[in-house]
Amino acid sequence: MNVLVTGGAGYIGSVTAELLLDAGHAVTVFDNLERGHRAAVDARARLIEGDLRSPQAVRAAMEAARPDAVMHFAAYALVPESMEHPERYFRNNVAGGMNLAEAMLEAGVRRIVFSSTCATYGEPERVPITEDVAQRPTNPYGESKLMFERILHWYERLHGLQPVFLRYFNACGATRKFGEDHDPETHLIPIVLQAALGRREKVFIYGDDYDTPDGTCLRDYIHIADLARAHLLALTSAHTGAFNLGNGTGYSVREVIETARRVTGRPIPAEVAARRPGDPPRLVAGAEKAGAELGWRPAFPELETIIRSAWTWHRAHPEGYGSG
């Protein structure tokens, strides 16, 4: 297939483009390189630089790529930023998404695999979180993703789009080529590995008085290559609708730090700090639906394997893509 990958220079988009190309698909990446990296675009892909917020740029990319399907990763994805600048999130993630969906309709492209998130559930009413849990986002980032899900849902009913919403839990790990490089970095595993590399003095544990076994928050860490494979399955599946993507196991912040100490052989100093506002104590996926309907089985569910892959990439790219 010929696939247009928006945000293909970002973390999850770059790895999915790599897998698509490995599987023999043709890939056009559409990215404005504002937060993505040119070095994260696979050399086998075609890159069109452009901004989702420009309807003309999106339409021109659709005409140039003539895709059979779209994978839509391009978005802002920082919760704290979304609480300060909600308009950025609605403009880029919602209005930008609409530019894309409308360009697809004009070009007769129906299949769209959309990067959604467990942040659409907010503080979930039950855990493990299955797709039928009420979606009540607690920040504009999660709200913007939910809004675009709803828009796609109506475009499916009324215009025949075929959307799949993949709701990621905590994406992490790396392939040999591509890994995680955000600025600023806010995610636990890269921060822990930066401390292992000596690029940070220590790791702050945001709260150890939660109602969890060791008092720190539980998250469902899912390997980026497993996420990417779910996109390939969704591309050719007859199903539409929402799928949670996680391993179904929650690891605590302390367990992540301990595992990283073992994997890296470095001490990784850690200090307990105040809770981070808005952190739910447990976010664990019920992902059976993706197994049953897409045939998805995570190949790298162990935290140690995930952290080892990230460590290999971070050691090869100690300054991120800037040093690659």
Binding site for ligand UDP (CB under 6 A): 170, 186-188, 191, 203-206, 217, 219, 253, 276, 279
CB neighbour list of residue 129: distance below 8 Å, 6 or more residues apart: 118, 121, 244, 283, 284, 285, 286
Give the torsion through C-alpha atoms of 81, 99, 118, 309, to 10 deg: -80
Look-up of token digits 């089985």: 297
Residue count (the chain)? 324
Collapse the DSSP code of 80 into the 3-class scheme (helix H, G, I; strand E, B; otherwise coil) and give the result.
Answer: helix
Nearer to ligand UDP, 61 or 224 (CB): 224
Q: Which residue out of 141, 155, 221, 251 is catalytically annotated? A: 141
Nearer to ligand UDP, 65 or 270 (CB): 270
For Cα atoms 44, 47, 52, give the angle at the middle one, nearest 5 degrees: 145
Min dist CB 253 to ligand UDP, Å, is 4
Nearer to ligand UDP, 47 or 268 (CB): 268
Which residue is closest to ligand UDP by CB?
Answer: 217
CB neighbour list of residue 137: distance below 8 Å, 6 or more residues apart: 119, 120, 121, 122, 143, 145, 146
Min dist CB 203 to ligand UDP, Å, is 6
Q: Is 321 a catalytic residue?
A: no
Cα gap 180→14, rounded to integer Å: 10
Min dist CB 170 to ligand UDP, Å, is 5
Give the torsion through C-alpha atoms of 84, 89, 91, 94, to 10 deg: -150
Min dist CB 172 to ligand UDP, Å, is 8
The torsion region of residue 165 among left (phi > 0), alpha (psi -120 to 50) and beta comes to beta
Cβ density class 259-296: b for 16+ within 10 Å, e for less: bbbebbebebebeeeeeeeebbbbbbbbbebbeebbeb
Min dist CB 133 to ligand UDP, Å, is 16
Catalytic residues: 141
